[in-house]
A and B are shown apart, each in its own frame.
Chain A
């Protein structure tokens, strides 16, 4: 069966520090991968998605970047965090474009102080 792992679960980082969040998927090949952010009391905002190794699409301009160095690995990064980067970051995967929905990792709660 397929599983998705995301870490760390919580993170407190100072403004201006770098960020690296990692997500890996097991039990499937060539998944579509997604990074979402959910700010407190708000909806899910798609940040990046990837349909293959090295292929990244950005949904909104921001202080973040994403990379997919391996088929089942998706990384979210920032060189310098802003206070506004605080939120709940969720990685997800799907078969193809999500006709069967997405499956999410357990998320990383990031607080920038």
Chain B
């Protein structure tokens, strides 16, 4: 099982739609969680951190379910500019207790006019 798994998509949605991505992680000791956005041929950029209580930033809502070991990202009122790949990222401790980020392969979103 991969340490961080995402549905690669692509998700094709019309403008204004609501879309949700899920991501599962395998290490129950993981402590920090993030969603990154990567545009084609660009660097990944932090979209939002994911907190235990869930958090919202405008049209974006992130949720964490520790018991089931998954995180989610909800995008409301999709815009054309939301088209990108969304990367799920988990920070975990390795055997030497050094923390590192584990990256999912990403979910591709295309918002259509």
Interface of B, secondary structure class, is strand
List 19 A–B pairs whose Cβ atoms lie within 8 Å, in order of A's numbering: A42-B105, A43-B103, A44-B44, A46-B100, A49-B100, A90-B44, A97-B91, A97-B99, A97-B100, A98-B91, A98-B99, A99-B99, A100-B32, A101-B89, A102-B46, A102-B101, A103-B46, A104-B43, A106-B43
Contact B49 A100 (CB under 8 A): yes
A37: shortest Cβ distance to chain B, in Å? Answer: 12
Contact B103 A98 (CB under 8 A): no
Contacting residues, chain A, for B68 (C-beta < 8 A): none
* CB closest chain-B residue, reference A57: B98
Which range contains the number of A residues in contact with the other chain? 10 to 19
Q: Which residue of A43, A101, A107 has the most chain B CB atoms within 10 A of its CB atom?
A: A101
Chain A residues 37 to 61 lying within 8 A of chain B, measured CB to CB, are 42-44, 46, 49
**12 extra interchain contacts, Cβ-Cβ under 8 A, other than A99-B31, A101-B46?**
A43-B105, A44-B87, A88-B41, A97-B99, A97-B100, A98-B32, A98-B99, A98-B101, A99-B32, A100-B32, A100-B49, A101-B36
